[in-house]
């Protein structure tokens, strides 16, 4: 579409509508296996071609030449083959559009939702309660896991505190743990002061 915007004979308003309709056609193609058979560029160009035939926004030859960004002998040599390919892709896109109208209608949505509720009700007893956040078993397990994590965190904090206290005692010349007695600094008998230079 950005290439088509460079064509001065096509109003931007028409291109905006064309782009919007083509995007919807591409979305509808997901009801088919078009994306498994054709590359994205061909699907995009075919969707533009289909919408252009309906809206008659631009001459089809100009559309193809603008979007393929080629011209002269190169496009002429493969023009017929390209059009056949785009028509083939277009037929599948039309099929996707028809399926979308069938399955995406409000009436069909309500029927699908009703059927889905029945299936969910049937499979609900088969679900593992430990994997379902709304069950009591899941909540209880989560509380136990949180308690274990908290206990592990407190244990880690205690070990870290003990290691820090041990380092402090070592720095102060005492490797013995604090037994509640008055604090005294022991003399380091092996310490020998260095003479002044």
> How far, CA to CA in Å, does 23 sit from each of 29, 180, 194?
10, 78, 85
- To the question of pTM greater than 0.75 for the whole model, the response is no
What length does the chain have? 197
Q: Can you give the pLDDT at residue 12?
A: 64
Q: Can you give the pLDDT at residue 76?
A: 60
Q: Can you give the pLDDT at residue 159?
A: 93
User: CB of 37 within 8 A of CB of 92?
Assistant: yes
For residues 174 and 177, give the distance between their C-alpha atoms in angstroms, rounded to a whole number.
Answer: 8
pLDDT tens digits in sequence order for the chain, 197 residues long: 676 777 666 666 677 888 888 899 999 998 899 989 999 988 988 998 888 888 887 777 777 777 776 555 555 667 778 888 888 999 999 998 888 887 777 777 788 888 888 888 888 777 778 887 888 888 999 999 999 999 999 999 999 999 998 888 888 766 555 555 555 656 666 767 777 76
Q: Can you give the pLDDT at residue 155?
A: 93
> Domains plus CATH for the chain?
4-105 (1.10.472)
């Amino acid at each position: 579409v950005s290439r088509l915007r460079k064509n001065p004979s096509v109003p931007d308003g028409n291109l905006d509508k064309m782009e919007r309709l083509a995007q919807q056609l591409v979305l509808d193609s997901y009801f088919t296996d078009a994306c498994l058979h054709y590359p994205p560029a061909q699907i995009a160009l075919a969707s533009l071609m289909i919408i252009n035939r309906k809206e008659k926004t631009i001459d089809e030859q100009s559309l193809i030449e603008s979007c393929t960004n080629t011209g002269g002998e190169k496009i002429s040599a493969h023009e017929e083959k390209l059009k056949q390919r785009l028509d083939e892709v277009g037929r599948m896109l039309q099929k996707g559009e028809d399926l979308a109208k069938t399955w995406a209608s409000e009436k069909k949505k309500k029927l699908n939702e009703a059927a889905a509720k029945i299936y969910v009700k049937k499979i609900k007893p088969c679900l593992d309660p430990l994997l379902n956040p709304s069950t009591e078993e899941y909540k209880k397990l989560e509380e136990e896991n949180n308690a274990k994590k908290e206990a592990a965190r407190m244990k880690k904090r205690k070990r870290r505190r003990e290691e820090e206290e041990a380092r402090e005692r070592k720095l102060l010349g005492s490797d013995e743990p604090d037994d509640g007695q008055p604090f005294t600094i022991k003399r380091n008998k092996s310490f020998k002061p260095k003479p002044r230079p």
